[in-house]
Amino acid sequence: MTLPLLTPIKHQWIKSFTKKSDQIKELIERYHSPINVHHMAPFEENYKEFSDVFNQYDLAHKIYFARKANKSIAFVKEAKRLDFGVDTASFKELSQCLEVGIPSENIALTAAVKEERLVRLAIENKVPIVIDNLDECALVQQVAEQLNKKVKVGIRIGGFLYEGKPLYSRFGFPPNEVVRMISENLGSRGKFNHLEFSGFHFHLNGYSPSQRAEAIIQTLTCVDELKSLNIPTQFIDIGGGFLINYLEDENQWNHFHEQLRKAIKGEREEVTFRNDSLGYQLIDGNLYGDAKVYPYYNDKPRAKFLKEILIYQDEYGTPVHSLLKNHNIEVRIEPGRSLLDQTGITCARVAFRKIDIAGNLLIGLEMNRTQMFSSSLDFLLDPIVLHQSSDSASEHVSGYLVGAYCLEQELILKRKIAFKQKPQIGDIVCFVNTAGYMMHFYESEAHLFDLAKNLVAVSNLDEFIVKPDEE
């Protein structure tokens, strides 16, 4: 039986660059496998796409790149060039932004855990801080007192009601408590008198535009309550989590899930390693649940997702964008993956081929699974194989891509891949659209393996100039 295909969308620079097999091979020989190659053109395109939506509704706005999604400093430099913001979540992320010269008003500090030196660095450089809990309030107050400075803070809010039930989040103050917390504790009248309230911040798990819209509506209720106490709100930051679409064809996506379900039930040969269910549960011959994977195909990516939030209507039929404008609120967002859409690829060299005891073809790559890994149970895109030579006589084969860690479950992809030509030692396998969270978020140095080299490609007519990220 044939294996389902999942053809990735490829930006023009990716199409062009992956034709440069000799250049990619030379880069791998120089920096060792694997390499991460980035290109800045889609980054600017994605930023402008978000900004255009805000401009369409005449909304004051600020866009922050969620730095945690990719470690390459080239994106920070590009954000500076384009004059938009960067959301930071660690001491090093913040210090790098300051070293690059990002203005303090274009930096947000949202770290989940804020140690004293991080808070001190932010206050010394007038970087606004998003606060999650009372202990953070106390820490920021303590450092601000020592420095004799006032600090602009955003207050994180979580636990919004949706369809009558609270949306769980471990972050933030509950909406029904946050107004009292701010009015009694912040500003000149409170015990945290060095903290100046500027706005609200939230970040919702999952990918529901309506949940985000409802969260905005409920946050605006808090804005109104604070206004009645003469406490103004400048902004509402709705975080990130904007979908992107990885795949060309919805039919391929649906067909894959259909074939996966058949394989789990034993109705066809496996399409994943050892018939991994990717999250489905088979109980007494029946399948339950869903695949625990990112929605790699979807019809509301990036700006369309944002627009869905803004056109959502409250119970009186007023769209969210009108509510925000009527309240004179600056809307802030922190996209990571969606700003990085189409900005990066990961390339690795084929090290070996073998047949395992179950008869599966295993293709070993000079990389490990943490170098292309996320919370999704698999990265469901077909890779591109750059063959050293074309072998028209080679038969089509299928197999699994495995990595360098000494683990039975060391799979680069769990999905069984169909190859038009059997990969040879020295061939290059390229994974498309990996810049957002796939490259760095879980990357480790077990076995003392080097981290993947981060490179930046610049288009020069029909050629590419490729340099290390740090240059």
pLDDT at 189 > cutoff 90: no
10/33 Cα distance (integer angstroms) = 22
pLDDT at 392 > cutoff 70: no
pLDDT at 469 > cutoff 90: yes
What CATH class does 12-39+343-468 carry? Answer: mainly beta
Average pLDDT over residues 164-189: 95
pLDDT at 39 > cutoff 90: yes
Which tens digits make up the pLDDT trace of 118-144? 999 999 999 999 999 999 999 999 999
Which tens digits make up the pLDDT trace of 393-406? 678 899 999 999 99
Average pLDDT over residues 258-279: 97
Q: Where are the domains of the chain?
A: 12-39+343-468, 41-243+294-333, 250-288
pLDDT at 391 > cutoff 80: no
User: What pLDDT is stored for residue 461 in this prediction?
Assistant: 83
User: What pLDDT is stored for residue 393 in this prediction?
Assistant: 61
What is the SS3 assignment for the chain?
CCCCCCCECCCHHHHHHCCCHHHHHHHHHHHCCCEEEECCHHHHHHHHHHHHHHHHCCCCEEEEEEHHHCCCHHHHHHHHHHCCEEEECCHHHHHHHHHHCCCHHHEEECCCCCCHHHHHHHHHCCCCEEECCHHHHHHHHHHHHHHCCCEEEEEEECCCEECCEECCCCCCECHHHHHHHHHHHECCCCCECCEEEEEEECCCCCCCHHHHHHHHHHHHHHHHHHHHCCCCCCEEECCCCCCCCCECCHHHHHHHHHHHHHHHCCCCCCCEHHHCCCCCEEECCEEECCCCCCCCCCCCCCHHHHHHHHHCECCCCCEHHHHHHHCCCEEEECCCCCCCCCCEEEEEEEEEEEECCCCCEEEEECCCHHHHCCCCCCCCCCCEEECCCCCCCCCCEEEEEECCCCCCCCECCCECEEECCCCCCCCEEEEECCCCCCCCCCCCCHHHCCCCEEEEEEEECCEEEEEECCC
Q: 301, 296, 434: which is closest to 367 by C-alpha?
A: 434
User: What pLDDT is stored for residue 255 in this prediction?
Assistant: 98
C-alpha angle with apex 369: 300 to 77, nearest 5 degrees?
Answer: 60
User: What pLDDT is stored for residue 389 in this prediction?
Assistant: 84
Fold of 41-243+294-333: TIM Barrel (3.20.20)
Q: 307, 311, 273: which is closest to 414 by C-alpha?
A: 273
Name beta bridge partners: 415.
Answer: 272
When the pLDDT of each residue in the chain is averaged and rounded to a whole number, the result is 96
Which tens digits make up the pLDDT trace of 329-376? 999 999 999 999 999 999 999 999 999 999 999 999 999 999 999 999
Which tens digits make up the pLDDT trace of 195-244? 999 999 999 999 999 999 999 999 999 999 999 999 999 999 999 999 99
Which tens digits make up the pLDDT trace of 304-318? 999 999 999 999 999
Average pLDDT over residues 55-59: 98
On whether the CB atoms of residues 320 and 314 are closer than 8 A, the answer is yes
